[in-house]
Amino acid sequence: MASPTATVPRHMALLVLVLAAASARLASAAGACAAEKFPAGKTYATCSDLPQLGAALHWTYDEAKSSLSVAFVAAPAGPNGWVAWALNPTGEGMAGAQALVALKGSSSAPAVKTYNITGYVPLGGASTPIAFPATELAADAGSGGKIRLYGKLQLKKGMKAVNQVWQVGTSVTGGAPDKHAFAAGNLAAKAKLVLSGKATAPAPAPAAMAGGPAGPAGSVGGAGAATTPAAGKSANAAATVGVSSVAGVALALMGFLAVL
């Protein structure tokens, strides 16, 4: 029979292993986006790891004011490339998208421009007005070579859900984003952003930016995923649930050890 002095260390080791597993589960449940650390003064109610291109969206929607504050985080496809995030109130692809673009280029800080994507044609070096008045535009460098693109959009009153698309590119020429790749991930970089209530996923449509050719509707990719506050967890809510679970496991094991 094992002695008490041998049994207790084994149970302590079990406690450590269970707590480690619970902590890992908590991190997974919260999502990678929840670990993003923004500069002081930039906080967001909700975040979601987007399904393509390793991107994430953080946002706060003020329904009373119809304003949407966002931080889009993604790595450009090249060291001097660009990242873009857009809302499309009229379609499911890139044509019609109202885009925010952060261009790294050769400067130290990414420049932010707005583009009204009217078709699959090259974009110029100057911003164009977009349907949603944009303020607080900025960008900075995140970890792992990522760019963090910030902005605040004034949406239409009563808007509950809207299509979103995003892209990354390898290079910038003349202050304009060069054409991006047309791999499966690029073409599937779209989803429904649910601001409030429920919405269905959009039908298949290719998402192309910066001079990409248009494809037949539904010819590439599947239905877009829905990005909702439930799927894109509130970091605070996920942490609260996870910490409660970890604490429960710890207390149960401590009680078990106490009776040995």
Q: Which of 5-9, 131-135, 235-239 has the lowest mean pLDDT?
A: 235-239
pTM score: 0.71
Average pLDDT over residues 173-188: 94
The mean pLDDT value of the chain amounts to 75
Q: Which residue, chain included where needed, has tokens 């877009």? A: 224
Q: Is the pLDDT of residue 173 over 70?
A: yes
Q: Which of 74-78, 132-136, 141-145, 186-190 has the lowest mean pLDDT?
A: 141-145
Q: What does the pLDDT read at residue 108?
A: 74
Computed on alpha carbons and rounded to an integer, the radius of gyration of the chain in Å comes to: 22
User: Is 195:61 a contact under the CB 8 Å cutoff?
Assistant: yes
Q: Is 86 left (phi over 0), alpha (psi -120 to 50) or beta?
A: beta
- Burial class of residue 131, CB neighbours in 10 A (0-12, 13-18, 19+): middle
Residues 260, 248: Cα–Cα separation, whole Å: 19
Report the percent of the chain where pLDDT is more than 70. 62
